[in-house]
Every structure is written in C-alpha cells, then in structure tokens.
Amino acid sequence: MLAVLLITFPFFALVLCGYLAARRGVLPQAAIPGLNVFVLYFALPCMLYRFGAATPIAQLLDASVFGVYLACALAMVAVAMVMTRSERINWNNAAFGALVAAFPNTGFMGVPLLVALLGAQAAGPAIVTIAIDLVITSSLCIALSRLDSAGTHGMRVAASHALRGMATNPMPWSIALGALASAAGLTLPGPVMQTVGLLADAASPVALFTIGAVLARSQMNTHERVPWIDYVPLALAKLVMHPLLVLAVGTVALYLGAPLSRFALTVMVLVAALPSASNVSLLAERFGANNGRIARIILVSTALAFLSFSAAVSLLVDAPK
C-alpha cells in the first residue's frame, strides 16, 4: 500500500495545490477558464493523440473492452437515476447526478496516473473508456436531463446540444486521429512531433492543478446548502459500486469466454475507481442543473479517492511500476 501511495500522492497533491491556490486567491478565478482551455484544447488532445498513435490499433478497437465498459456505464446511469429521481430531484438534476456517478476523471487524471502505475500499455483500454464516456454516456445523460421539458422539443434540443458538444470536443477527435495514425503506421514530422510531445508532457500536471482550481471555484461560488444525502451516496457509488460492477461484469465475461485480457480488465476496474470527472460540473452549469450538488459529489469523490483508489491498486496490482 505504501508503494502505491508513493506513486499516487504526487497526482493528488497537484489537485490539492490547485485547490489551495484558488481558495487563497493566489490563482484568480478569472484565470481558471484559461487553464481549462489550455488543457482541453491543447495539452490533453496532444497527450491522447500520442498515446493513441503509439498503441496498437487492435487495443483501441477491442470489442470486449468496449462492451464490458459500456454495459457497466449504462448500468451505473440506471442505478443512479433510480437512487436519486424523486419529486424533489427532477430529471435534469437526476441525469447529471447519474453522469457524475458513471463518468470517471480518466482524461484529466486517469491516463497519466494509470500509465505511471502500469506502464504505457494501460493507455489503450483507458482511451476506449474515454471515448465511451465522452460520446455515449454523456449524450445519454444530456438527453435524459431534457425529459422535464414538454413534448419532443426538449429531446430535440438535447440531441442538438449533445451532437454539438461531441463535434466541438477535441478529445474524441484526437483519439480518432491517433487511432488512424496507429492503423496507417504514420508518424508526424520530427519538429511537429516534438511540439506535440511538449504539449502532451504538460497535460498531466496542468490538468491535475486545474481540477483542484475548478473544485475550489465551484465551492466558493456555491452558497446553497445541499443535504449530504443528495451527494455523499453518489460519491460512494462512484468510488465503490462502479469498480465492483466492472470487476463483476468483466469476470463473468471472462468466464463466458470473451477475448478480454486480465490486464485490460484491471485497467477498466481502476478507471472505474477514479473520482468523478470535473468537467461534468461545467455541463451541469450549462444545462441549468444544481451545480452545487454536482460540485460536492466531485469534491467528495476526489478527496476520498486518494485512499480508495490506492487501495484498489494495492488489491489488483502486485507490483506497481
């Protein structure tokens, strides 16, 4: 456990640094959107492209990984909706609660952390999970969030927003371009690849720092009291139920003879054990959900994940790198 904590500590320490910098005013709130833009549109796409281009295309098109993770993501959305939907929590808030319970922070935190723990081969299964969460899980929850609207107009608007969000999000495109480069055996010219590499190297520290800053901003800007019952159970579901579900479904798939490697299953379980994705807070704000509740789920899951994720690694991985 100590060996695992020595690896995971710097990642969570960077989140804490970003949180404290924003809380103490060292990092102005006006600067946080700029950090988000740099991470989302420059650094992370380069990191995902580099990993995608260096990963064999068979790993990026692994149908077993895709099927197991997608089934678990849909199950988590269904369970979270059943847990929270009530007269007090409408479809909009229930849907984004479900998204934050099913969407791990794989892009900002998971890929660099898993590569540090398991080696570069962990990037393949992790990238598959990112694509599922960005394209399918997010779109489904956005569509569910519009069910409060009357008639089909709400669903039509939701579908339009979902498609526009997918088209303008650079991460799926960078994954697709990396997969194409891997399949075709293409390499970028040396100076271009060096530029991509510099931006990719900046992705992990800046993304982790930005997570902390975004969490601090959400907490500082939210003055509404939120009952603990509205966010703690979902945070625990994200950290406990989600990885156990992936482990159970993956184990059954292996028993039934699915061509799923034990290593890929381990990566998926650890992806599911990550805290909730911080970008769900931005989506919740854009669609008018209770962002204070979503921010608390992300904050609690991130704080608890330092121990819960490390425990999961200790149980699943014999000797972390």
Q: Give me the CATH number covering residue 235.
A: 1.20.1530.20
Q: What is the mean pLDDT of the chain?
A: 88
Query: Average pLDDT in the 93-122 region?
Result: 91
Q: What is the CA radius of gyration of the chain?
A: 19
Q: Distance of alpha carbon 315 from its chain centroid, rounded?
A: 22
Mean pLDDT of 30-42: 90
Residue 321: inside a domain, yes or no?
Answer: no
Residue 161: per-residue pLDDT: 61
- State the average pLDDT over residues 297-314: 93
pLDDT, tens digit, 9 for 90 and up, residues 56-103: 888 888 999 999 999 999 999 999 999 888 888 888 899 999 999 999
pLDDT category, 257, cuts 50, 70, 90?
very high
Q: What is the pLDDT of residue 164?
A: 66
pLDDT of residue 102: 96
> Higher-confidence residue: 166 or 47?
47
pTM exceeding 0.85: yes
Closest CA to 298 of 317, 282, 321, 316: 282
In a domain, 250, yes or no: yes
Nearest one of 279, 270, 274 to 211, comparing CA atoms: 279
The answer as to whether 207 is a domain residue is yes
Least-confidence region, from 181-190, 215-224, 271-280: 215-224
Look at 17 and 146; give whichever has higher pLDDT.
17
Report the C-alpha gap between 86 and 11 in whole angstroms. 37
Does the pLDDT value for residue 321 go beyond 90? no
* Separation CA 15–CA 250 (nearest Å): 30
Q: State residue 240's pLDDT score.
A: 96
What integer pLDDT is reported at residue 69 of this predicted model? 97
CA distance 20 to 29: 12
Q: What is the pLDDT of residue 223?
A: 67
CB 295 within 8 A of CB 97: no
**φ, ψ for residue 276, nearest 5 deg:** -65, 150
**3-class secondary structure, 276:** strand
Residue 259's domain comprises 2-316
The answer to whether residue 271 scores a pLDDT higher than 90 is yes
> For residue 77, which of 139, 148, 159 has the smallest C-alpha distance?
139
Residue 148 scores a pLDDT above 90: no
pLDDT category of residue 283 using cuts at 50, 70 and 90: confident
Q: Report if residue 27 sits inside a domain.
A: yes
pLDDT tier at 287 (50, 70, 90 boundaries)?
confident
pLDDT at 219: 79
Distance, CA of 108 to CA of 92 (rounded, Å) = 25
Q: Looking at residue 255, what is its pLDDT?
A: 95
Place of tokens 């184990």: 251
Whether the pLDDT of residue 295 is over 90: the answer is no
Instruction: Please indicate, yes or no, if residue 278 is contained in any of the structural domains.
Output: yes
* pLDDT value at 291 more than 50: yes
Please spell the DSSP secondary structure of 117-173, one letter per residue: HH-GGGHHHHHHHHHHIIIIIHHHHHHHHGGGSSTTHHHHHHHHHHHHHHHH-HHHH
Are 35 and 206 in contact by the 8 Å Cβ rule? The answer is yes
Domain count, the chain: 1
